[in-house]
Amino acid sequence: MHYTTFGRRTGLRVSQYALASGNFGTCWGVGAERDDVQAIFTGWRQTVQRPSR
């Protein structure tokens, strides 16, 4: 997993997965709707899934 620093002054290290999901949901009045989030996540999961052994 790849990590990066969150913000310029926080010093917090977060995974890039956390940063990429910041716009999931609309409870703050912005962001992707539930159906869009599901489609995005499903597409991501299909690209990173490893074949069964």
What is the DSSP secondary structure assignment for residue 3, as one 8-state letter?
A: E
Asked if the structure places residue 29 within a domain, the reply is yes
Q: What pLDDT score does 52 carry?
A: 60
Report pLDDT for 23.
79
Distances (CA, A) of 33 to 14, 19, 39: 24, 17, 10
The answer to whether residue 47 is domain-embedded is yes
Is residue 1 a part of any domain in this protein?
no
Domain assignment present for 18 = no
Q: Could you tell me the residue range of the domain that residue 28 belongs to?
A: 24-53
Structural domain includes residue 8: no
Confirm if 10 and 16 have CB atoms less than 8 A apart.
Answer: no
Q: Write the pLDDT tens digit of every residue in 19-48.
A: 567 778 888 888 889 899 889 888 878 887
Residue 53 domain-assigned (yes or no): yes
The structural domain count of the chain equals 1
